[in-house]
Amino acid sequence: MIDEAYLHLISGLAFFSGSVVLSYFSIKSTGSIRFLAIIFLVFTLVHSLYHVTSYIDQEFLSEGLLEPLSVIILILFGASYLVIKSRQEIRTLG
């Protein structure tokens, strides 16, 4: 069985590798998609850092700071998506 600490390390590396793709996408895109990509990029970097700090047993930093911060950023991403999507629907109606 794999230890929980190693799962944090694997998850951190997976999130970090996903952020490389998001970095390229946010550089190449424009407009509201770019804004959403940057917010999601920040989320993946913070969440990757959360997993790495959990792996090295920095509980206050990981559980106390980075985990709530990543949740806040993810909620910000969802709210931004809803605002952008509602503006697009209003434009198509009008």
70-86 residue pLDDT tens: 999 999 999 999 999 99
Quick one: pLDDT at residue 36?
Answer: 95
Domain range list for the chain: 4-93
- Helix (DSSP H) and strand (DSSP E) numbers for the chain: 4, 0
The widest CA-to-CA distance across the chain, in whole angstroms, is 58
Task: Report residue 42 as tokens.
Answer: 């920040």
Q: Angle 30-19-79 (CA atoms, 0-180°, nearest 5)?
A: 60
Residue 91 confidence (pLDDT) above 90 = no
Q: Please give the model's pTM, rounded to 2 decimal places.
A: 0.89
Single out the residue of 23, 1, 14 nearest to residue 51, CA to CA: 14
Q: What is the pLDDT of residues 36-62, one digit of tens each?
A: 999 999 999 999 999 999 999 888 999
Give the rounded percent of residues in the chain with a pLDDT score beyond 70: 98
Q: How many CB atoms lie within 10 A of CB 45?
A: 18
